[in-house]
Amino acid sequence: MLTLDAEQTAARTWFEGLRTRICAAFEAIEREAGSDAGFDYIAWDRTDPSGEPGGGGVRGVMKGRVFEKVGVNVSTVGGTFESEFGKTIHGAGEDPRFFATGISLVAHMANPHVPAVHMNTRFLRTTKQWFGGGADLNPPIPVDEDTADFHAALAAACDAHPGVGDYPRFKQWADDYFYIPHRGVHRGVGGIFYDHVEGDFDASFAFTRAVGEAFLDVYPAIVRRRMEAPFTEADIARRNEWRGRYAEFNLVYDRGTLFGLKTGGNVDAILMSLPPVATWS
């Protein structure tokens, strides 16, 4: 069992509470659609390479009428990085000990007019400590209103925390990061991405909480706006093709996928980001 200090406990508690509220909001949408779908939760434990207990997490997955597949995971892990991988992590080049806690969410939607979405926020400690995360919207059929509202919510979260939040920089970071070089396309319509937000713990943590709150406020509203829109077989085909792009990015380029696999995380939780159905031409 990991022993946590006050900052680590505060971060873990926040991420777990956000998970609970997000899952409740998504289940409420399913009820509005006449579905009784709910999240199934599976706890998992991690063994550190040293052989000691290395924390664990809870994988939550729901398959419903609106959310074809949505995963909301929380984890709190710690121990030591394997030597070569540790050299690639901020602050772990000389000392491989680490701690990480966070929430990760990916939703793939049944209706092609409802955008898929990704969100995660996390707190890490090596010889340094920092917050990271963000959110990005992935619509098969982009709608300017949805894109504008999603970005406005994240921009407001950044603007409310000057000195930490930097919307223009974090938006550009998302555009650069969520890009598929071998396709020459972006994964979606962007959002924000940030990492290595160091400095004052309270200020950085407050900003990270604001990102979570912004997501919880804006995304369910977008879902409700589009979930009853009529769609065609051609729309489904377009959705499934874009899901293929999403899968390619997460398997080839995503740093979170690599981090989870390299640190002995639960494989099913790590790969919950993959869509239930996708196509490649």
Residues noted as catalytic: 118
State how far the Cα of 73 lies from the Cα of 63, in Å rounded to an integer. 15
Element (H, E) at 46: strand 40-47
Cβ partners under 8 Å of residue 202, min gap 6: none
Given a contact cutoff of 8 angstroms between Cβ atoms, the answer to whether 99 and 124 are in contact is yes
State how far the Cα of 191 lies from the Cα of 139, in Å rounded to an integer. 12
Q: Which two tokens stand for residue 20?
A: 């609970």
Q: Which two tokens stand for residue 131?
A: 């917050």
State how far the Cα of 236 lies from the Cα of 76, in Å rounded to an integer. 37
Given a contact cutoff of 8 angstroms between Cβ atoms, the answer to whether 268 and 150 are in contact is no
Amino acid at 225: R
> DSSP states of 77-130 as a string?
EEEE--HHHHTTSTT-SS--EEEEEEEEEEEEESSTTSPEEEEEEEEEESSSEE
What letter would DSSP give residue 271? G
